[in-house]
């Protein structure tokens, strides 16, 4: 019992820092045409973007809520502010960022990571980017890494207009439509053909405001033969009211190009995370997803890949950890359109202390995707009987010229495994933590070291006090 008490006092201060909101501009709660127009005015939108927002609002109003998945009854848009602007413009030098915001990102390790191991960083605080910078040598390669709003008014405006919410249209689902209406912040990345970006770019999203939403848009275009690793991180302090994250990520992977998109999601446990991520891959291109989901109260998260060109491929490596008060519905989707396309998905999910973890997937192989191959491996670990773990995969195969393999298993930590580690000197808690870390190792080994360490820390935090 003492261990459990200790868990409640455990130090999460680096994630739970709340900065004062008194100097922020905050739009009134709710969702109306006036609010959407106000956001559009704040963003100094072009006419087409303003019209796009209004049409998206219309779609949002007409789209019904779905009747599957975790309940989002606790999310009331009338009590969410869709736009909160910190009292600063975007900077490209950390020293110019307001002290409290800078301190927050310092504690989260973002500036240090940028210095040590990143080619560029975008840091978003509430609804706006507060920092954006890219290393000179990467810029000299012709790589564009900019906040998306500046890019909408620059030389890449037409490129963005051509791609913006085409892969994820507002009609996709209700919260895609919401995103289309109130989106703010986010990044645009363009990697020219045959450019290899050796070290990763990163965006970090921090939602400080209480009862607010974050709706950033990430658009990445990787040209023919180019190569990029993009890392995304997020967190927020915990409040006793709902917050909402309905971001959107659209990825275009060109012919023979390669994109790796890594995410460590650590939203606070009052967050409704209704994020949409989608990639389209052309001939010979390769898309790699690495995903660790540890936060949020409710999550709906299914990165999707369309393998459009022949010989295109996708891998997905993911881990989800659902603890007390969490209902995380995560998974992956793939559509094979081209011949000889390949997809490989490996996921791990862990549920404990009443957490609910659902793995949901779809594999669609269309008629013209002859010679395609797919494999899915999904393992679920339940750490107690208060929790829940569900696996809901679907395969929709429309050609005989393919190979599809699927395996899934669910179970608990084996007593023999715990016994073995305890016989080697570990306490029971340490033994269970090691087993869970090993179980999630499929993701941590794919991440750069600093992020793998963060992920392991998150597992440790969750596992403390799991005995007794």
Partner 1 sequence: MEDKVLHLNEMPSKTWYWLKVNGCDIKLAHTNGESNVKFDKETKNDIDISNFEKVPTSMGQDFSDYVSNGKLNSLNITSDGEYTVTYTVYDKVCSTDILAVKVDDGISAKVNMIYMTNDECTGSAGIQTKIILGKDSKLKISQISLVSKSFNVLNDIGVICDDRARFENVKIMLGSNRTYSALRVELKGDNSNCRNDLVYYGKSDKVYDFNYVVNHYGKNTESEIYVNGVLDDSSKKTFRGTIDFKTGSAGSIGNEKEDVLMLGENVVNKTVPIILCTEEDVKGNHGASIGKLDDENLFYLESRGLDENEIKKLISLSKVTSKAKLIDNEKIVNMITTFIMEEMNG
Under the rule (CB under 8 A), what is the footprint of partner 1? 66-68, 360, 362, 364, 367, 380, 382-385, 387-412
Say how far apart CA 447 and CA 96 lie, in whole Å: 30
Nearest to partner 1 of 410, 418 (CB atom): 410
C-beta closer to partner 1: residue 137 or 384: 384
CB of 243 to partner 1, least distance (A): 26
Alpha-carbon distances of 175 from 40, 77, 207, 244, 456, rounded to whole Å: 18, 11, 18, 10, 31
CB nearer to partner 1: give 267 or 321.
321
Instruction: Output the smallest distance, CB 398 to partner 1, in A.
Output: 5
Question: Considering the complex, what minimum distance in angstroms separates the CB of residue 318 from partner 1?
Answer: 17
CB of 407 to partner 1, least distance (A): 5
- Record the tokens describing residue 41, joined without a space: 């005015």
- Nearest-approach distance from CB 412 to partner 1, in angstroms: 5
Beta bridge partners of 234: 205, 265
Measured in degrees and rounded to the nearest 5, phi and psi for residue 143 equal: -75, 135
Q: Which is nearer to partner 1, 85 or 173 (CB)?
A: 173
Instruction: Kindly tell me which of 11 and 415 has the beta carbon lying closer to partner 1.
Output: 415
Calculate ∠ Cα 65-71-77, nearest 5°.
Answer: 60
Tokens describing residue 218? 């990430």
Residue 127 CB, nearest distance to partner 1 (Å)?
30
Query: In this complex, which beta carbon is closest to partner 1, that of residue 257 or of residue 382?
Result: 382
Tokens of 219: 């658009």
Report in angstroms the alpha-carbon separations of 213 from 53, 79, 128, 168, 273: 16, 10, 12, 19, 10
Beta bridge partners of 281: 253, 307
- Smallest separation (angstroms) from partner 1 to the CB of 363: 9
Q: Least distance to partner 1 from the beta carbon of 55, Å? A: 22
CB burial string 103-116: b at 16+ within 10 A, e below = ebbeebbbbebbee
| Pick 216 or 433: Cβ nearer partner 1 | 433
Beta bridge partners of 330: 301, 359
- In the block, which residue shows the tokens 């915990």? 238
Cβ proximity to partner 1, 26 vs 344, nearer residue? 344
For residue 260, give every residue at least 6 positions away whose Cβ sits within 8 Å of its Cβ, in sequence order, or none: 228, 229, 230, 288, 289, 290
By the 8 A CB rule, do 332 and 347 touch? yes
Task: Specify the residue for token string 């190979």.
Answer: 403
């Amino acid at each position: 019992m003492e261990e459990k008490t200790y868990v409640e006092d455990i130090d999460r201060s680096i994630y739970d820092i709340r900065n004062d909101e008194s100097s922020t501009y905050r739009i009134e709660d709710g969702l109306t045409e006036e609010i959407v127009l106000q956001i559009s005015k704040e963003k100094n939108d072009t006419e087409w973007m303003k019209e796009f927002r209004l049409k998206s609002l219309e779609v949002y109003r007409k789209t019904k809520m779905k009747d599957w998945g975790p309940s989002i009854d606790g999310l009331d848009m009338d009590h969410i502010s869709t736009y909160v602007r910190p009292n600063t413009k975007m900077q490209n030098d950390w020293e110019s960022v307001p002290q409290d915001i800078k301190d927050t990102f310092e504690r989260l390790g973002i500036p240090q990571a940028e210095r040590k191991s990143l080619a560029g960083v975008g840091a978003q605080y509430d609804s706006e980017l507060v920092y954006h910078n890219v290393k000179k040598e990467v810029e000299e390669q012709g790589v564009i890494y900019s906040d998306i709003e500046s890019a909408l008014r620059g030389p890449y405006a037409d490129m963005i207009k051509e791609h913006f919410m085409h892969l994820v249209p507002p009609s996709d689902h209700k919260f895609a439509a919401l995103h289309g209406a109130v989106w703010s912040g986010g990044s645009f990345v363009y990697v020219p053909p045959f450019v290899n970006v050796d070290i990763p770019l990163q965006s970090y999203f921090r939602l400080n405001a209480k009862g607010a939403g974050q709706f950033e848009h990430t658009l990445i275009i990787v040209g023919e033969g180019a190569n990029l690793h993009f890392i995304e991180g997020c967190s927020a302090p915990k409040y006793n009211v709902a917050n909402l994250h309905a971001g959107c990520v659209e990825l275009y992977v060109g012919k023979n190009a390669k994109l790796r998109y890594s995410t460590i999601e650590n939203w606070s446990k009052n967050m409704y995370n209704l994020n949409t991520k989608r990639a389209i891959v052309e001939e010979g291109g390769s898309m790699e997803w690495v995903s660790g989901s540890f936060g949020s109260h409710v999550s709906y998260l299914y990165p999707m890949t369309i393998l459009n060109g022949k010989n295109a491929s996708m891998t997905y490596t993911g881990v989800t950890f659902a603890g007390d008060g969490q209902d995380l519905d995560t998974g992956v989707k793939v559509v094979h359109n081209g011949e000889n396309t390949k997809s490989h998905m490996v996921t791990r999910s862990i549920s404990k202390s009443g957490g609910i973890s659902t793995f949901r997937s779809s594999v669609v192989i269309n008629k013209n995707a002859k010679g395609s191959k797919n494999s899915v491996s999904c393992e679920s670990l339940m750490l107690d009987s208060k929790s829940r773990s569900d696996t809901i995969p679907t395969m929709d195969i429309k050609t005989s010229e393919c190979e599809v393999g699927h395996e899934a298993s669910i179970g608990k930590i084996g007593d023999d495994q715990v016994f073995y580690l305890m016989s080697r000197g570990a306490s029971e808690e340490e033994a269970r933590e090691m087993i869970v870390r090993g179980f999630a190792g499929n993701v941590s080994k794919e991440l750069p070291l600093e992020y793998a360490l963060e992920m392991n820390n998150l597992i440790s935090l969750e596992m403390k006090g799991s005995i007794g």
